[in-house]
């Protein structure tokens, strides 16, 4: 019984850490993975490195972006940080 009482602060600290650190991080990872898998042509995105572009084509593991002067760049899906606007610019 005394051993369980001695371990209770450590158990409590782990539970608090899980609720405030681990659980939100898992939610963010799941949301990011969902966003990256649902990318489609015409989405305006920002990469992890801060590059803004328009999705030109998507395949299984890579995304082709068109940037300012019409340059076409190829990125891994994991390099896409967020979708800014899903509507294409005409």
Q: Going by C-beta distance under 8 Å and a sequence separation of 6 or more, which residues neighbour residue 51?
A: 65, 67, 73
Give the model's confidence band at 1: pLDDT under 50 very low, under 70 low, under 90 confident, else very high: low
Query: What is the pLDDT, as a whole number, of residue 41?
Result: 93
* pLDDT 10s digits, 30-42: 999 999 999 999 9
pTM: 0.70
Fold annotation for 2-85:
SH3 type barrels. (2.30.30)
* pLDDT 10s digits, 25-71: 999 999 999 999 999 999 999 999 999 999 999 999 999 999 988 89
**Could you tell me the CA-to-CA distances from 39 to 19, 52, 59, 72 in Å, in that order?**
30, 14, 10, 17
């Amino acid at each position: 019984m005394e051993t369980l009482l001695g371990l209770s602060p450590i158990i409590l600290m782990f539970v608090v850490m899980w609720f405030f650190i681990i659980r939100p991080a898992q939610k963010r990872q799941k949301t990011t993975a969902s966003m990256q898998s649902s990318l489609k042509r015409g989405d305006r995105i920002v990469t992890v490195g801060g590059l803004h572009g328009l999705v030109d084509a998507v395949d299984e593991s890579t995304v082709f972006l068109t940037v300012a002067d019409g340059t076409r760049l190829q990125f891994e899906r994991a390099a896409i940080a967020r979708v800014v606007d899903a509507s294409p610019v005409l």
